[in-house]
Amino acid sequence: MIREARADEAEALAEIQRDACLTAFAHIFPPDLSPFPMDEVRERWTTALADPDVSVLVADVDARAVGLAGYRLEWLDGLYVVPDVWTRGIGRELHDQVLARLRELGSTRCHLDWQRDEEGPLRSQPDRLPTRRECSQRRRQSGAR
């Protein structure tokens, strides 16, 4: 189930982001060399939840918050899903909900900042979004920077 985040959920949102990042980026930011900035991330979500220009969606599975997507007009500010539910389509559903809501607000585009990562296997799965590697390859092929 996808729902709007509640004002008191900054800690839960920070935990989702932490769990997703520690797994997804461990090869870039080893936890023993680069501790996760939990205080800053918690503050990020506290600020976002208080900002009337920012919306945050939460994905629940079995009454547990397992994913989030923060967005504002024309921007997807963050999309995180905890690793134990990866490949279940939750990230795609959050992404699609953000785009639908942005369209309802009259937005015709959605920007996303992402970290480029050339590591890891390239897989083809119909139920997932393109990887950062695929996106960067497409950008290079198209001549975009």
CATH code of 42's domain: 3.40.630.30
- Whether 125 and 73 map to the same domain: the answer is no
- Whether 102 and 139 map to the same domain: the answer is no
> Quick one: pLDDT band at residue 30, thresholds 50, 70, 90?
confident
Over residues 4-33, mean pLDDT: 91
- Whether 55 and 71 map to the same domain: the answer is yes
pTM of the model: 0.78
Query: Residue 75 and residue 103: Cα distance in Å, rounded?
Result: 12
More confident: 124 or 16: 16
- Whether 88 and 104 map to the same domain: the answer is yes
Mean of all residue pLDDT scores within the chain: 83
Query: Residue 143 and residue 26: Cα distance in Å, rounded?
Result: 30
- Whether 11 and 80 map to the same domain: the answer is yes
- Whether 30 and 87 map to the same domain: the answer is yes
| Boundaries of domain holding 125 | 120-145
Q: How many domains does the chain have?
A: 2
* Geometric angle at alpha carbon 92, from 145 and 87, rounded to 5°: 105
